[in-house]
Amino acid sequence: MIYVLHGEDNYSSYNRLQQILKSYQNYTKVKIDEKSPADEFLGSTLTQDLLGTKKIIICENFIHTKKIKVTDLKSIPSEHDVIFWEKSQLTSSFLSKFDKSFKIEQFKLKPQLFTFLDSLSPNYFNSLKELNVLRTYKQISLNWHLSARVQLLILAKLGISREVSEKITGKPIQNWQWQKLLLQANLINLSTLIKLFTGIIKIDYLIKDGKTNIDETHLISTLLVKYLRG
């Protein structure tokens, strides 16, 4: 089976990746990312384990970075098990080149989540209003997406280029997206962004370690009031 997991919601696509891998527990995991040479993938698909061990190949951002051609994708034997995990959305024209043997799954961010992330500014009342809208949405890992946005704002504030920021985050950033991030970063001082990021990490720790029963959105709203109003 050949899977293609793509879209902006990296949290959900990563969880789906882990879910798929659970059904391959007795397989050797071959992990390849955008830093790996294309030959490494081709070699992995063509060679067989000497002991006959089954394997599944996981390729991260391999399609987006053009490490593999469509012709190479089509030449993958159907009996091979491969997962392409792309941290951005592939175009419909590109996806149309795949045949029906590919299992393609797209993971979109909810528009309301973008609205909330874009609202982050010293005008925290607006952010709280947008955050309240998200209270009814389940399984979107709001804290994870918030940390990703604040990280980008810190990079923009530090004067890191779009290209370098792409490498740090492992995600493509369109020029128009970067311009929006630069404008948003100008609204918030660096020390506030760092405090926000530190607070987000603490929230993540409290939730994952079961040290709090407080709702995620309530914790985040407290964080925003504490730092953005200053």
Specify the pLDDT at position 163.
Answer: 94
The pLDDT of residue 180 is above 60: yes
Contacts 24+ apart (CB under 8 A), 131-139: 131/217, 131/220, 131/221, 131/224, 132/217, 134/217, 135/215, 135/217, 137/110, 137/112, 137/113, 139/12
Average pLDDT, the chain: 87
**What tens digit of pLDDT does each residue of 26-68 get?**
888 889 888 887 777 777 776 665 556 788 989 998 888 888 8
**For residues 230 and 124, what is the distance between their CA atoms, to the nearest angstrom?**
10
The mean pLDDT value for 112-140 works out to 87
The pLDDT of residue 9 is above 90: no
